Amino acid sequence: MKKLFAPNPPVTPPGPSPTCTCLRGSERGRKLRTPVLHREQQNTSCDAWLRLCERIERAIATGEKDFAPLEGMSAEERADIVSLPPSIGRLVEVQRLVLYGSHLVRIPAEIGGMRSLCCLDIYTSYRLHFLPYELTRCVQLRDSRASTRALFGNYKYRPPFPDLTHSDNATALASLTPRICSVCSSPLDADGVLPRWITLAAGTDWFPLLVNACSQACIDALPKPADGYVAYPHTGGGRLLQPAAEH
């Protein structure tokens, strides 16, 4: 996709880049074992988390437009942040969100509340392999930057998607399930959630998105996936047939 505008060059984060073995080897053409979702739970009592929450509250109060919540944190502090708090949904004035070089493994569904978001930068966040479907609610989003090779099902190497029906992913899925349906916003029954993968264009990239639907009707109402990707919402797994890789 053609970039509409380039994000400002970010400050190189301190310490080593985030690393992940989920998709390692795909660039060398090796068949990968089906990965599992990251199980790391966010420590909400550590200093880094408390600082992050304070920064978000300050940004909400001041109406910041350009927000880089991890900037200025030490390497150790950045490594302590594996998720973002739900309060990011209240950042309704933020236009540019910079998470360059983060150690994030998930972003909460509440990002859909960032109604002014027009630029999302998650470049070199190598442990972040997908985004929530609720990102599609950010209708102003017109530019993005991501490390393509770190994304599930990316067109370069077609690494596999985690199997959403496998018990190995149950704990991680529980932490990713929002309070309301990703599609119709009805309250979700934790025992009746239907999770699906879908790849869609968002900003200037193609992102694998995690849908948490309340019914088959909501799954049927999902938009057509991006051309060149699996043509229907799916649950992933090693038997999923994907289009041929670019390399």
88-106 average pLDDT score:
97
List pLDDT tens digits, range 157-207: 999 999 999 999 999 999 899 999 999 999 998 889 999 999 999 999 999
pLDDT of residue 156: 93
Task: Express as a percent the part of the chain with pLDDT over 90.
Answer: 84
Question: 24 or 8: whose pLDDT is higher?
Answer: 24
Compute the distance between CA of residue 112 and CA of residue 147 in angstroms, rounded to an integer. 21
Task: Express as a percent the part of the chain with pLDDT over 70.
Answer: 91
Compute the distance between CA of residue 226 and CA of residue 201 in angstroms, rounded to an integer. 6
Sheet harboring 119-121: ordered strands across? 66-67, 96-98, 119-121, 143-145
pLDDT at residue 30 greater than cutoff 80 = no
pLDDT at residue 14 greater than cutoff 90 = no
pLDDT of residue 25: 62
pLDDT at residue 129 greater than cutoff 70 = yes
17-41 average pLDDT score:
80
pTM: 0.93
* Structure confidence at residue 32 as a pLDDT band (50, 70, 90): confident
* Structure confidence at residue 1 as a pLDDT band (50, 70, 90): low
Among residues 233, 231, 229, 224, which one has the least CA distance to residue 155? 229
Q: Three-class SS string for the chain?
A: CCCCCCCCCCCCCCCCCCCCCCCCCHHHCCCCCCCCCCCCCCCCCCHHHHHHHHHHHHHHHHCCCEECCCCCCCHHHHHCCCCCCHHHHHCCCCCEEECCCCCCCCCCHHHHHCCCCCEEECCCCCCCCCEEHHHHHCCCCCEEECCHHHCCCCCCCCCCCCCCCCHHHHHHHHHHCCCECCCCCCECCHHHCEEEEEEEEECCEEEEEEEEECCHHHHHCCCCCCCCCCCCCECCCCCCCCCCCCC
Among residues 102, 98, 96, which one has the least CA distance to residue 48? 102
* Structure confidence at residue 106 as a pLDDT band (50, 70, 90): very high
* Structure confidence at residue 15 as a pLDDT band (50, 70, 90): low
